[in-house]
Amino acid sequence: MTLLTTNKWLLSGTVCKAPIQKVSPSGIPHCQFLLEHRSQQKEAGLYRQTWCRIPVVASGHELKKHTQNIRFGTQLTIEGFVSCHQIRDKLVLHAEKIKFINFGE
């Protein structure tokens, strides 16, 4: 049996819940926030409106410098992977890269 291991997401959206900064007992910084995505996607030849909210966790010292500037309303693109977290069947996007979206550039 072959185990499929691809789990990469790229999602843009707006931070819709103020970030929570924490440090684990082992000293690893974590930032948790809620990202809202809205777009129009083509499915079966037709365009449809899409919408979702997904919790994001950014962990580690390398991402800490990015997460310090995240506020409610910040627009971001997150690259990472999804996993179930704490509550059964609750997907969480674990950030590996964070890019700030600056409109008007």
pLDDT band at 1 (very low <50, low <70, confident <90, very high): low
Q: How far apart are CA 1 and CA 24, in angstroms?
A: 37
pLDDT band at 105 (very low <50, low <70, confident <90, very high): very low
State the CATH number of the domain containing residue 83: 2.40.50.140
Q: How many CB atoms lie within 10 A of CB 91?
A: 12
Q: Which two tokens stand for residue 84?
A: 């179930």
If you average pLDDT over residues 73-96, what whole number do you get? 90
Looking at the chain, the whole-number percentage of residues with pLDDT higher than 70 is 92
- Number of domains forming the structure of the chain: 1
pLDDT band at 101 (very low <50, low <70, confident <90, very high): very high
1 found inside a domain: no
- Which pTM value belongs to this model? 0.87
- For residue 5, the model assigns a pLDDT of 83
At residue 63, the 3 state secondary structure works out as helix
Looking at the chain, the whole-number percentage of residues with pLDDT higher than 90 is 82
The domain in which residue 74 lies consists of 9-100
